[in-house]
Amino acid sequence: MSAALHQLGVAGLATALRERKVSAVEAAQHHLARIRRHQDLGAFVAIDEDLTLARARAADAQLAAGNAPALAGVPIAHKDIFVTTDFPTTAGSRILAGYRSPFDATVVRRLAEAGAVTLGKLSCDEFAMGSANENVAVPAVGFERAVPVRNPWDPRRIPGGSSGGSAAVVAARLAPAATGTDTGGSIRQPASFCGVTGIKPTYGRASRYGMVAFASSLDQAGPMARSAEDCALLLSAMCGPDPDRDSTSLDRPAEDFSRALNGSIEGLRIGVPTEFLGEGVAPGVRAAIEAALAEYEKLGARRVEITLPRTELSIPVYYIIAAAEASSNLSRFDGVKFGHRARDYRDLADMYGKTREEGFGDEVKRRIMIGTYVLSHGYYDAYYLQAQKVRRMIADDFQQAFAQCDLIAGPAVPSVAWKLGEHGDDPVADYLADIFTLPASLAGLPGMSVPAGFDGGMPVGLQLIGNYCGESRLLNAAHRFQQATDWHLRTPGGFEQ
């Protein structure tokens, strides 16, 4: 049993734990050993084996007493954008070096209350700003300097970002699940690149309290795991109102997303935007998506051609709004209360300047400068205000589409994962890779990526987008697809044993 522990997903492992076929301590030890063995991926930035095993023993006590919650003993890892009391939090940045939070993020707390056992914290692009997990300033466990996370399917390639560490550990079977955050696609894009399942719920479904802010009107937490069934279990624990701590939290009760997983999809109308399969999509990606859509038609769903005419505008709109909000949010990192502070400075203004110069990476500085510019006097109306108007139009386009269909489908990303360093100093190349994930983020809609095939040996993700609070329908559609296919069960070479 122990030899195959890492091949069990959340649902399978939770069942094995409840049936006492394996203990939580055994599950934790097994995954910790795999983490040590595969440190070269650069995925973990903090682990504490003693703490993890103590949590596992507590879970075993609950299981033995018969009063264990749904995820008791299931190992999980957290993206280093969520604050935690027991592990350091850096958000991938030097400016938060040495920071320890006095509280846990709501998502972390809720998963702990559901019984999940934390394995450690995961590498991410600095302040979640990136599409490749190459904007990293914090050394991973086993490294003396910062390194990008590597894709388990091909270590010469990126895992995607900003939740690249989360996607990589699930793909490599170092953890059955991980938390991620999605601002413009940072769950769905790396899930696609690494061949795992990831879902971004409706904006406000999961509390943002304790999630280090990048762009407050866009940031949303979500789970990454092997399957839609696993994601449904995790999302059920993560979501729920948190009005006392997060003003953007939806006043909507917690929901059991696994309840409707085996519902029929006969007659389900799947909208396919013409913009999502046009020029710029790699032929191998298009072929995989077409095959996935054909599979849905075999299952009884109906394909409907739709249009999202402002898809291309989502890139400039997103990078204006997100940069503006980042400029505001990151102003708190100035060396006064926490994190890095410059050693030598003349006065307060000099301390601010030197601290931020030393603490922030190039991409973070770039977005702060862009955001400050578009919010400045004389440019606010021309850029920021116009971007907000187009954002509303993008959301309206989706509502017109949902009058014709129940779900929207297409590729999560136009290509498979590119090689490390391939985009060099061209940030726009990274930005363009988000073209299919950005529209749903701007509209606040739920979206997910589901493994749907391979192109040149690298995974391809099918993106499914639902209407507001339509997570159950999304997860059911993904689950039925995964019952008919085995793409989500494939393991990268070298990580099977």
List 179's β-bridge partners, or say none.
Answer: 223
Residues 420-457 as b or e (16 or more Cβ within 10 Å = b):
beebeeebeebbebbbbbbbbbbbbbbbbbbbbbbbee
Q: Check if 186 is active-site.
A: yes
From 79, 121, 258, 327, active-site residue: 79
Who's near 72: CB < 8 A, 6+ residues apart? Answer: 14, 17, 18, 24, 59, 62, 63, 114, 115
Q: Check if 472 is active-site.
A: no
From 101, 163, 186, 258, active-site residue: 186
How many angstroms separate the CA atoms of 5 and 22, rounded? 9
**Of 427, 377, 391, 434, which is closest to residue 411 (Cα–Cα)?**
434
From 162, 207, 227, 441, active-site residue: 162
How many angstroms separate the CA atoms of 472 and 234, rounded? 13
**Of 1, 44, 43, 46, which is closest to residue 22 (Cα–Cα)?**
1
Taking only Cα atoms into account, the Rg of the chain, rounded to an integer number of angstroms, comes to 21
Q: Check if 79 is active-site.
A: yes
Residue corresponding to tokens 């190992």: 75
- The stretches of 403-495 forming alpha helices (DSSP H) are 427-432, 438-443, 471-484
How many angstroms separate the CA atoms of 209 and 487, rounded? 34
Q: Which residues are marked as active site?
A: 79, 162, 186
